Structure formats: structure tokens, C-alpha cells
Amino acid sequence: MSKKYDITFVGHMCYDEIKHFGQEAKVAPGSAVLCGAMVAAKVGKKVAVVAKMSPKDEHILQPMKDLGIDCFLVPSAETSYNRVVHESENMDERTMTLIKSAGIIAIDEVPMLDTTNMHLAGISDTEFDMPLMKALKARNYDSLSVDMQSFVRHVDPMTKNHEYSDVADKKEIAAMMNKLKLDVLEARLLTGTDDLEKAAIIVESWGCPEVMITQSEGVLARVNGVTYYEKFSNSNVTGRTGRGDTTFAAYMSHRLNHDVAESLKFAAALVSIKMETPGPFSGTLEDVYKRIDEKHS
């Protein structure tokens, strides 16, 4: 009998070179896959990862394997390498450059897994294309989801910088998804407004019943015509990188057994803890519930 997973994260593993304003650059394994999968496993879910990367870097999967995550490596000539430079003390102002890319993931590279949620956890338009999404939709998972940063962030072929722009297939993408994640910048580019609720209603009208939008102050969810919002409670933003990936993974994990309001509160509390320390979420369930009691009750 095949193993049953709660959530499967698909995307690139990568190295993140992060330079905070006025500090030396530091390099560490990263990616939306890593940030998301570590969260889901730490809160007790059965997790799989399908990661496209160079086999020579397989050792960077070990922290996930140590948490019981089953990792399926899709071999590529290179492991993606992403440079993030914060030019000011505003952590939301950053220049991202994709130095190396593992390339588009093909449907025959994604194993047939028994999973409740299949999440496309990308960081740029070099990971997923329409044929892949259509083929995954045809596999009839209970929930197929995507982070719209995977399409809004276009990698310039000359500079390799992430350039933000509208997405021609945005309505078709949204209509295929059971859940969809974006941030306030992506929302403005795709919908023409940075009013979170108005943007979520527009995306909902494209056919996605569950929409999440993050911003620096908090997170909004629009589910089946109802809007929910929860503020963040972090005391600093040294762990800003991975905010959206972590929020959505925490929300998806909790939504397996809880309603929207509880799941949003859980996600906001967890990511608030994560943003206070660089790297993936390293806390515990007890830490999250304590933060909920102290700051989100």
C-alpha cells in the first residue's frame, strides 16, 4: 500500500545568498519548498517533497529528512542559487537575482503520490508551466495550490534579476486551484489594487475559492465569499525571508482539521515566531499555542 501524505511540496531547492542592509552576505540552503515543508512537518503533518536540484547537493535535504519528510529528488545539472539584497532597513525592499536555475519541472518528473494537498512552492517563473499544472489538476488531488510568486516573478534573461509583472494566464491558473497564495505587491500587479479584500474578491471571481494575501502587518484569507484577517505579532523582522511560504504552509497544515479563522490565527502566530529568527521555522507546536494565547487570543 502506498504511503499517504497530508501535503506534498513541489519546486526547487536552492541556495539563498542573503545580504541584509549594512551586513555581510550569508549563504544557506533555502526555497519555498524548504520553508513550507519544515513547517508542515514540525506541526505534525505527513509531508513529501519533490525537489528539482543537482544530486551533488542532496545533503541539503537532510534537515527535512531528519523531520521525517520523504524527499524525492528530481535531478538537474544545477541547484538553483538565489541572491537577495536588502538595500535599506525596510525588509520588504529587496533585489533578488537568480544566479542559477534547476529549470522547469515536467509532469513525468513528479511521482504519483497519494497526497491530500499538492502545493506548487516556487519562487520564480523558472519552475512551473501550464502543461505541468493541467496535468497535476487531472490527477484529482483534494487540493491543488500555488504561490503566485511563481509567475509574477519573471527572471530577466540578461540580468537574472526577478522582475515583477502581470501574468497573462492568471485567470486560468486561479481557476485550476483550490487554494492560492500571493502578497500585497503581487496582488496589486495582478488585480490593480493593493486593498487586500478587494484584491482577494477579484482573484476569487476568477474561480479560486480560497485566497490568501500577506502583507507586512498581517494576513488575509478570503474563503467561499467570507473575508478573515489576522495581524502578525513579531517583535523584529530578521527572519523576513520566507514569510509568505511559512504563512501558507502553516495555514494549509491547520486547515486539514480546523476552520478558516483558527487556521489563520495559527498561521499568523507561527510565522510571527519565524520572522524573529533567520531561516525556516525552528519552534514547536507549544511555542505557537503560547504565542496564540499571549498575542492572538
- Three-state SS at 224: coil
List domains and CATH numbers for the chain: 4-210 (3.40.1190.20)
pTM passes above 0.85:
yes
Residues 44-84 have pLDDT tens digits of 999 999 999 999 999 999 999 999 999 999 999 999 999 98
In whole angstroms, what is the distance from residue 55 CA to residue 73 CA? Answer: 7
What is the pLDDT at residue 86? 83
H-only helix segments in the chain:
32-42, 62-66, 130-137, 149-152, 170-176, 184-191, 196-205, 243-255, 260-274, 285-295
What cell was used for 142?
A: 483534494
Q: Which residues pair with 226 in a beta bridge?
A: 223
What is the pLDDT at residue 92? 67
Q: Which residues of 98-119 are buried (b: 16+ CB within 10 A; e: fewer)?
A: bebbbbebeeebbeebebbbbb
What is the pLDDT at residue 137? 97
Weakly modelled stretches of the chain, pLDDT under 50:
1
Residues 199-235 have pLDDT tens digits of 999 999 999 999 999 999 999 999 999 999 999 999 9
What is the pLDDT at residue 99? 94
